[in-house]
Amino acid sequence: MQGTVKDFDPAARAGSVLLDDGTELPFDADAFAAGGLRLLRFGQRVNLAMEGDRVTVVTLSTFPLPGI
């Protein structure tokens, strides 16, 4: 699944993304760490992995999701 970064707090290492249908999904520091990134900025396209309704991985759209 892909989305666009809506906001990101570098201190908390958490934020939210908007899906193409406008749905906002928050992600926590664990999901950010799982993607191997150091920073995100507003408007970046990202890949998301989900378990149920929780984002488990956030990484750049040009990077593969871990385990795939």
68/64 Cα distance (integer angstroms): 7
Give me the phi and psi of 61, to 5 degrees please. Answer: -65, -20
pLDDT digits (tens, 9 = 90+) for 2-53: 999 999 999 999 999 999 999 999 999 999 999 999 999 999 999 999 999 9
pLDDT for the residue numbered 68: 53
- Give the chain's domains with CATH numbers: 2-60 (2.40.50)
Threshold 0.75, pTM exceeds: yes
67/40 Cα distance (integer angstroms): 21
